[in-house]
Amino acid sequence: MSELTERPERSELSVRAAELDAADELAKLRSQFVLDDVVYLDGNSLGALPAAVPGRVEDVVRRQWGELRIRSWDESGWWTAPERIGDRIAPLVGAAAGQIVVGDSTSVNVFKAVVGAVRLAGEGRDEILVDATTFPTDGYIAQSAARMTGCTVRAVTPRDVPSALGPRTAAVLLNHVDYRTGRLHDLPSLTSAIHEAGAVAVWDLCHSAGALPVGLDEHGVDLAVGCTYKYLNGGPGSPAFLYVRRDLQDRFDSPLPGWNSHVDPFGMRSEYEPAGGAPRGRVGTPDILSMLALEAALEVWEEMSIETVRTKSLALTDFFLDCVAAYVPEGRVESVTPSAHADRGSQVALRCDDAREVMRRLIAQGVVGDFREPDILRFGFTPLYVGFGDVERAARVLAGLVG
């Protein structure tokens, strides 16, 4: 018997995990996903497959495309899918209907949002502030948007945004949750500071949509983008979404006008006139196969409160940190994820000297997280299908590898 299995903390934590799983009101949702005996803690990169998706995709391919063909744009609701699915995402990010359109990639939507934000800000404002810790693509897009609009870009940490704002600030692009550390940034206060400076707030929700309450309408966010293949479980490369606050929609000037966002798309007119409302964020023909796979994936959220999901998310990450503290030898790993609930997303990042090799071995032993340069073990907790027993097992296997 190993030293680890003899330690009393293990049995106590195993019992605690079983008790927490028995009391978990979300545990019933696990059966709505295609899962095996692997502990899957990488839903912050790619969510697990919802069981409803394969049958829906088969219907889309065989019947809607194979039999109805072109008729499906009307009869199967293909044409209205971007707004219809946007309205299904809206409650999960605290938005009323009619403000979200689904389509294109996150990067494309970031470009639309940042350029659109500069144009909303008006003349005399020629600086874009961007999160210095952002996912690299957001920074690349901001640089390109700056070249297109005659702006400069300045990278600052989110906590330094209030002091960096000024009369020249046009737009501020921030991540709601830091993709490396899992730090949750203060969207309400930062949005308020941006507005007080007369600038436009753009939020990237890739690591918060479907994991925690966002409150887009409540906090007056101007523009937001997010992916759907992480906590929303839409599938690899599933289309992203774009939020434009309702009172800004008639002034939102997209840098990518396309026939799908025209007020009369089938009029085929040479002059562009944008549609009203959320469709103004569309560009070209929607990717129907992945769009409708996402729609099927979102069915698991019916009658599900994002606040309930957040409560379990915090309980899972708390329990994981407790298990790591009990099982892993002191000094072997270090959490870089904030311990305070108000500052934590739905992931835990552990610094470890040989993180790449440790993660490779974890995956080989049935615990799937991911590695981020230079030394981060990253674990994402999707409350819809991750249980407390999974969490205890993950920490125990980790301890066996690094102990």
51 Cβ neighbours under 8 A, 6+ residues apart: 31, 32, 33, 34
- Please, what is the average pLDDT of the chain? 96
Assess whether pLDDT exceeds 90 at residue 10: no
Q: Which candidate in 229, 371, 379, 381 is catalytic?
A: 229
Q: Which candidate in 104, 138, 178, 204 is catalytic?
A: 204
Smallest CA-to-CA distance from 345 within 215, 241, 209, 252 is with 209
Tokens of 14: 């195993």
Catalytic status, residue 135: yes
Q: What is the pLDDT of residue 9?
A: 52
Assess whether pLDDT exceeds 50 at residue 218: yes
Q: Which candidate in 125, 282, 378, 393 is catalytic?
A: 378
How far is the C-alpha of 165 from the C-alpha of 149, rounded, in Å? Answer: 19
Provide the 8-state DSSP code for 262: B
Tokens of 92: 């999960």
How far is the C-alpha of 395 from the C-alpha of 385, rounded, in Å? Answer: 17
* The pairing of beta strand 152-156 with beta strand 376-380: unpaired
Helix (H) or strand (E) run with residue 376 in it = strand 376-380
Tokens of 50: 């919802």
Catalytic status, residue 112: no
Assess whether pLDDT exceeds 70 at residue 133: yes
Q: Which candidate in 40, 111, 135, 381 is catalytic?
A: 135
Entry pTM: 0.96
AA letter at 348: V
Q: Which candidate in 10, 112, 230, 312 is catalytic?
A: 230
| ∠ CA 262-263-268, rounded to 5° | 60
Interval 322-342: pLDDT, tens: 999 999 999 999 999 999 999
Assess whether pLDDT exceeds 90 at residue 8: no
Catalytic status, residue 229: yes
Q: Please report where in the chains the tokens 């503290």 appear, as a residue.
A: 325
Phi-psi domain of 94 (left: phi exceeds 0; alpha: psi -120 through 50; beta: other): left
Interval 279-295: pLDDT, tens: 999 999 999 999 999 99
| ∠ CA 375-378-382, rounded to 5° | 175
Grouping H, G, I as helix, E, B as strand and the rest as coil, residue 354 is coil
CB-based contact 331:2 (threshold 8 Å): no
Assess whether pLDDT exceeds 70 at residue 93: yes
What are the CA-CA distances from residue 22 to residues 30, 276, 311 (Å)?
13, 49, 16
Interval 22-60: pLDDT, tens: 999 999 999 999 999 999 999 999 999 999 999 999 999
Catalytic status, residue 178: no
